[in-house]
């Protein structure tokens, strides 16, 4: 069938700069660039271009410019170019339209409507360069009260403590499985997490055996509906075990890692036969209620001798506060909430763009509800889904999070340009692909350094912001909504967020 689709990107090549070195041709996994030997000319097949900018970055003479294609239909606020293109694509294939990365629709980003406080005159700000500033965070259940015994100079805690995990900064890498991302990208996340003293999350694709000893102590291992790669050693080598109920990009639905991506090593890590679809069912079939969730939480605690905190990750949906309360009552030590803008390697576009609620509202609602019920200390909260910079982290913590997960931000640090073509397995940046030719572009030594730098830069920025507020420990900011004010928000939004408007 002849395709009626318009090209998405325009590839312009400046003839006066192009030296026909063919770098673009080698770098593009989509076959956009082609050199014709007889004519000694470079040609572009821009219909195939996904706009990942790999060629433009690697062009040694800066001869390439890739930009969204200006050709469009008659402007129409309702029937946008994207809507019409999707219609044509479905008319041609009859398929469910897939996409990658997070929701790109213009839902209100509340981070951009919240501003932070700073100390002026009435209280001193702190200079983090010269004064101690604490970002250390303990994740896990805290005791109801702390009983101590004082013997001379010694102070011993006599209350029974629950397992907690220490992270040096309240920034964790979000769940991205080996299979969704390349081995190199997966390893880079693990290396950076270890070096900085934080955690990475294996996603539901297992943890390769050779990585368990070295990186287990920095791993959050997931136990998801597919139970891929879950064996007793996997659970016992980890820092935290996370039950994945849902994901912000695709609440309520399962996942399919297509068979062609299930290579020998991925099959081994996921513990499934090579070449079969890795199907993650939509529900966990042993969890149909809070009581069942409790059963799995304690099954995992039993399997690890009650030595590790168990996290439960859900997508932010309408009744998130009530659900979170149930999760804490079910025994979750950590609850991770993934908002509307959370990323994915593959999701039906219609789900990604329409299901779930923004993390800011969900987080505020959950924190508020747990406080009202007097059970906030029984869990740590990790916020995820659209954390783009250190200010988002600070605002999330002020809204009640203990820490945040970053996924897309970490990928962008490694080279990702959010072209949203993760599901094709042809990532030019070597991140979201299992093609060895592409994945070896990502050097874990260098990529982990980029990630480490990101954590370092953000952490320093967080210290600056805390210092400005006159706070010297991240713990004092947690749920401290007095340090937030809303700008350009409706009253109901301010109410849900639990913050005052600016000037109030």
Partner 1 sequence: MAVKCARRGLRDMFLGDVRPLAQIRSHLQLNGWEAEIDARGLVHKELNDLIREAALGGARKIVLYNVSGQRYIGTRLFLPQKVEIHVHSVPGNDLGAFLAGHRIIVHGNAQDGVGNTMDDGEIIVHGRAGDIVAMSMRGGKIFIRDSVGYRAAIHMKEYTGKVPVLVIGGTAQDFFGEYMAGGIVIMLGLNLKPGERHHAHYIGTGMHGGVIYLRGEVAPYQLGKEVGILEPNEEDQKVLEKYVGEFAAHFGLEAGEILKDRFIKLLPVSKRPYGRIYAY
**Which residues of this chain interact with partner 1, rule CB under 8 A?**
89-90, 92-98, 223, 226-227, 230-233, 235-236, 256, 258-259, 267-268, 270-273, 275-279, 281, 285-286, 291, 294-295, 298-300, 302-305, 321, 328-331, 348, 368-369, 372-375, 378, 423-424, 495-496
Q: Minimal CA–CA distance to 484: which of 364, 342, 318?
A: 364
Q: Which is nearer to partner 1, 43 or 298 (CB)?
A: 298
Provide the minimum distance between the beta carbon of 272 and partner 1 in the complex, in angstroms, as a whole number.
Answer: 5
Q: Is 282 exposed, middle or buried (0-12, 13-18, 19+ CB in 10 A)?
A: middle
Of 171 and 219, nearer to partner 1 (C-beta) is: 219
Q: Closest Cα partner for 202 from 237, 170, 232?
A: 237
Among residues 341 and 369, whose Cβ is nearest to partner 1?
369
For partner 1, give the closer residue by CB, 13 or 244.
Answer: 244
Minimum distance, C-beta of residue 361 to partner 1, in the bound complex (Å) = 13
- Report how far residue 266's alpha carbon sits from residue 272's, in angstroms, rounded to the nearest whole number: 8
Q: How far is the CB of 93 from partner 1 (least distance, A)?
A: 4
Nearer to partner 1, 2 or 37 (CB): 2
6, 83 in Cβ contact below 8 A?
A: no
| CB 466 to partner 1: min, Å | 29
**467/272 Cα distance (integer angstroms):** 50
The whole-angstrom separation of Cα 157 and Cα 96 is: 56
Beta carbon nearer to partner 1, 18 or 295: 295
Nearer to partner 1, 331 or 444 (CB): 331
CB 54 within 8 A of CB 27: yes
Residue 139's DSSP bridge partners are 165
CB 155 within 8 A of CB 444: no
Question: How far, rounded to the nearest angstrom, does the alpha carbon of residue 223 sit from its chain's CA centroid?
Answer: 17
* Smallest separation, CB 286 to partner 1 (Å): 6
The Cα 151–Cα 149 span in angstroms is: 6
Partner residues linked to 486 by β-bridges = 114, 501
Distance of closest approach, residue 264 Cβ to partner 1, in angstroms: 9
470: left (phi over 0), alpha (psi -120 to 50) or beta: left
> 253 vs 13, 284, 315, 323, 354, CA distance in Å?
42, 11, 11, 17, 13
Q: Quote the least distance from Cβ 94 to partner 1, whole Å.
A: 8
* Alpha carbons 9 and 415: distance in angstroms, whole number: 19
Residue 268 CB, shortest distance to partner 1, in Å, is: 6
CA 163 to chain centre: 24
Measure the CA–CA gap between 10 and 341, rounded to whole angstroms. 27
Looking at beta carbons only, is 287 or 412 nearer to partner 1? 287
Q: Are 245 and 307 in contact (CB under 8 A)?
A: no
Q: How far is the CB of 277 from partner 1 (least distance, A)?
A: 5
Cβ distance to partner 1 smaller for residue 157 or 446: 157
Nearest to partner 1 of 365, 409 (CB atom): 365
For the record, the structure tokens of 351 come out as 């789900």
Helix or strand holding residue 116 (H, E): strand 114-116
Least distance from C-beta 453 to partner 1, angstroms?
A: 34
């Amino acid at each position: 069938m002849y395709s009626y689709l318009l090209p998405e990107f325009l590839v312009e090549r400046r003839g006066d700069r192009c030296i026909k070195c063919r770098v673009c041709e080698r770098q593009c996994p989509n076959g956009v660039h082609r050199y014709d030997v007889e004519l000694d000319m470079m040609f572009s097949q821009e219909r195939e271009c996904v706009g990942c900018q790999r060629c433009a970055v690697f062009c040694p003479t800066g001869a390439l410019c890739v930009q969204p294609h200006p050709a469009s239909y008659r402007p129409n606020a309702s029937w946008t170019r994207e809507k019409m293109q999707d219609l044509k694509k479905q008319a041609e294939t009859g398929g469910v339209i897939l996409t990658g990365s997070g929701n790109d629709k213009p839902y209100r980003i509340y981070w951009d409507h919240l501003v932070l406080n700073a100390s002026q005159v009435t209280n001193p700000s702190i200079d983090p360069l010269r004064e101690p500033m604490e970002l250390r965070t303990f994740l896990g259940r805290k005791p109801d009260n702390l009983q101590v015994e004082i013997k001379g100079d010694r102070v011993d805690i006599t209350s029974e403590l629950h397992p907690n995990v220490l992270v040096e900064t309240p920034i964790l890498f979000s769940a991205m499985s080996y299979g969704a991302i390349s081995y190199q990208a997966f390893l880079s996340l693990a290396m950076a997490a270890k070096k900085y003293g934080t955690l990475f999350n294996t996603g539901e694709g297992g943890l390769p055996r050779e990585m368990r000893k070295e990186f287990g102590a920095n791993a959050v291992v997931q136990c998801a509906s597919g139970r891929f790669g879950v064996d007793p050693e996997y659970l016992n080598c980890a820092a935290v075990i996370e039950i994945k109920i849902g994901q912000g990009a695709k609440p309520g639905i399962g996942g399919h890692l297509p068979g062609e991506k299930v290579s020998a090593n991925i099959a081994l890590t996921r513990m499934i036969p090579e070449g079969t679809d890795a199907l993650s069912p939509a529900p966990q079939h042993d969890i149909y209620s809070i009581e069942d969730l409790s059963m799995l939480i304690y099954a995992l605690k039993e399997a690890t001798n009650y030595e590790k905190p168990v996290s439960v990750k859900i997508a932010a949906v309408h009744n998130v506060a009530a659900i979170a309360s149930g999760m804490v009552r079910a025994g979750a030590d950590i609850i991770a909430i993934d908002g509307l803008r959370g990323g994915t390697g593959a999701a039906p576009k219609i789900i990604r763009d329409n299901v779930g609620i923004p993390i800011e509202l969900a987080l505020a609602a959950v924190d508020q509800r747990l406080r009202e019920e007097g059970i906030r200390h029984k869990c740590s909260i990790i916020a995820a889904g659209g954390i783009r910079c250190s200010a988002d982290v600070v605002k999330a913590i002020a809204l009640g999070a203990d820490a945040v997960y970053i996924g897309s931000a970490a990928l962008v640090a490694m080279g990702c340009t959010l072209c949203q073509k993760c599901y094709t397995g042809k990532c030019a940046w070597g991140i979201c692909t299992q093609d060895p030719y592409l994945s070896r572009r990502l050097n874990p030594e260098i990529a982990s350094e980029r990630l480490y730098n990101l954590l370092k830069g953000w952490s320093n920025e967080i210290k600056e912001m805390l210092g400005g507020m006159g706070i010297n420990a991240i713990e004092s900011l947690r749920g401290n909504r007095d340090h937030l004010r809303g700008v350009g928000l409706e009253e109901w939004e301010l109410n849900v967020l639990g913050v005052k408007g600016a000037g109030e």
